[in-house]
């Protein structure tokens, strides 16, 4: 591998990125059945986050854009291609110490680790505690593209950003919410 190619394979944290054959397929393309799942679940999750954190629909959609990408449209609670004791887990695909904290929180709250209730509950827990800065910065945003990016950086910190997928998911979530609410759907910038 050339030096230039090796540098391209490194993440923003300086760790080597997974080789292409090990990267989760979920970021490449929406499967019709999983995107339908995302569209169906997004409005209620957004409403919960809007109520809990006093967010606008746009700001909540930015969170959903990130979670939809990480979790393959809320269909994957465990990172594809990883053994059970490794890889990301939950909607946010928590890893390392955050994964262990997620498991401990879910267990303490008597929630199945692979349940939506555990992922939503722990997401809110982190946004109220260890990652409250992410929600504080998100609340200052009025542009969906920027809000989605800021949440990605402040909360997810992904090794491989897949930002185009995050942006697409944010638009889909916002449209699903607005369609359910019967509101006019603005076009993204």
Please write the tens of the pLDDT for every residue from 88-129: 999 999 999 999 999 999 999 999 999 999 999 999 999 999
Is residue 156 pLDDT above 60, yes or no?
Answer: yes
Q: Count of domains in the chain? A: 1
Give me the residue label for tokens 């260890």: 130
Which residues are registered as beta bridge partners of 78?
Answer: 89
CA-to-CA distance for 133 and 126, rounded, in angstroms?
A: 10
Asked whether residue 114 is assigned to any structural domain, the reply reads yes
Asked whether residue 189 is assigned to any structural domain, the reply reads no
Higher-scoring residue by pLDDT: 142, 12: 142
pLDDT in tens, 55-73: 999 999 999 999 999 999 9
Backbone torsions φ then ψ of 75, nearest 5 degrees: -95, -20
Dihedral sign for Cα 150, 91, 21, 12, please. positive
CATH number, position 167: 1.10.530.10
Asked whether residue 154 is assigned to any structural domain, the reply reads yes
Asked whether residue 15 is assigned to any structural domain, the reply reads no
Is residue 17 pLDDT above 90, yes or no?
Answer: no
pTM score over 0.85 = no
Is residue 51 pLDDT above 80, yes or no?
Answer: yes
The per-residue pLDDT for 84 is 87
Q: Give helix 144-151 / helix 57-70 axis angle, nearest 10°.
A: 50
Structure tokens at 7: 């540098």
Asked whether residue 25 is assigned to any structural domain, the reply reads no
| Residue span of the structural domain in which 152 resides | 33-79+86-181
The mean pLDDT value of the chain amounts to 86
Residues 6+ apart with CB under 8 A from 60: 45, 46, 47, 49, 50, 173, 177
Q: Could you please report the per-residue DSSP string of 36-71?
A: HHHHHHHHHHHHHHHHHHT--HHHHHHHHHHHHHHT
Asked whether residue 75 is assigned to any structural domain, the reply reads yes
The three-state secondary structure class of 25 is: helix
- CA dihedral 70→73→77→78, nearest 10 degrees, is -50
Asked whether residue 14 is assigned to any structural domain, the reply reads no
Asked whether residue 1 is assigned to any structural domain, the reply reads no
């Amino acid at each position: 591998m050339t030096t230039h190619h090796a540098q391209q394979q490194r993440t923003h944290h300086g760790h080597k990125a997974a080789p292409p054959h090990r990267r989760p397929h979920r970021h490449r393309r929406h499967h019709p059945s999983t995107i339908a799942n995302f569209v169906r679940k997004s409005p209620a999750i957004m409403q919960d986050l809007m109520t809990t954190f006093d967010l606008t629909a746009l700001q909540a959609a930015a969170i959903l854009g990130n979670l939809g990408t990480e979790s393959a449209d809320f269909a994957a609670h465990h990172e594809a291609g990883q053994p059970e004791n490794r890889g990301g887990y939950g909607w946010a695909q928590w890893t390392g110490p955050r994964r262990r904290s997620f498991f401990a929180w879910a267990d303490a709250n008597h929630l199945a680790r692979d349940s939506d209730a555990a992922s939503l509950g722990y997401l809110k827990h982190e946004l109220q505690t260890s990652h409250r800065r992410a929600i504080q910065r998100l609340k200052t945003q009025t542009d969906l593209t920027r809000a989605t990016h800021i949440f990605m950086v402040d909360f997810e910190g992904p090794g491989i950003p897949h930002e185009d997928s995050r942006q697409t998911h944010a638009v889909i979530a916002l449209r699903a919410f607005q369609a359910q609410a019967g509101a006019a759907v603005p076009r993204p910038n």
